[in-house]
Amino acid sequence: MSNNKNIKKMFQKEFDIEIMKQRILNKERKKGMNFKNIFKWSVAPICLGAIISGVLLFNNNKELRSNIYEPNIEPKNNVSMYINDVSKMMVGSLKIDADIKVVDGVNVPYDESMNFIEKLSLPKDFKGENDLKKDILEVVYTNKDKTDNSYTYLNNFIYTVYSNSDERNIEIQFSKENKPIRDYLFSEEGSKLSKINDLELRIYKYDKVYFTEFNYQGINFDIETTNINEQELTDLLLSIIK
């Protein structure tokens, strides 16, 4: 049996692709939380620990290729968009195993890397009365090394905003010093680059979820959206990448 077939057999046994799909789509840990506008800084801190086991999503069947297409969006000279649809890709090898602590960030001092938040272009149904949003700021802490168990190293921030119905959301991880931690990755093999205002980035789609990561003006961004259409995604990215 070839190495590729051995790998495929092993991970089909160890991982249920439907479970992984739900893990990506549902974001269960954020359901049921009380939302406050992050700039009110009024919610008591909430701490929770999590072990993130990263999974690399890749194509181990040469006949099963990602679907690359141009989205139906408003044409603009400064936007060249390609969507790498990986909805049919197979689950692959473990990539990351990071022990982290996620903390409610309402009492965290304002950082200049957060400046983009107030300028985000959000869909209309993401704003309630008096333009108040259902949003939350979280902080991801890790240990400095294997001997450390204090969870005091600030790795990145997570800003999440929800639609009024809670059926749609946008999650933006960001950091000036580090690359945000993600528990699953996509292979770049066979993917196509997009370009927004001369910044190159890869945009992936998995079912109703879009993913992208890039560095802009010294800040590492990792963006994941659920039930957002492609024009809304484009407008969101243009509000960050000037």
* Structural tokens at position 6: 């051995």
Q: What integer pLDDT is reported at residue 149 of this predicted model?
A: 81
Q: What's the CA gap between 67 and 119, in Å, rounded?
A: 32
Q: What integer pLDDT is reported at residue 229 of this predicted model?
A: 97
Q: Which residues of the chain have pLDDT under 70?
A: 1-65, 89-98, 130-131
Residue of 27, 154, 1, 7 lying closest to 92 (CA atoms): 7
Question: pTM of the predicted model, to two decimals?
Answer: 0.74
Express each pLDDT in 203-216 by its tens digit: 999 999 999 999 99
Length of the chain: 242
* Structural tokens at position 115: 């400046």
Express each pLDDT in 18-43 by its tens digit: 444 444 444 444 444 444 443 333 33
Contact indicator for 221, 213 with CB cutoff of 8 Å: yes
Q: What's the CA gap between 18 and 21, in Å, rounded?
A: 5
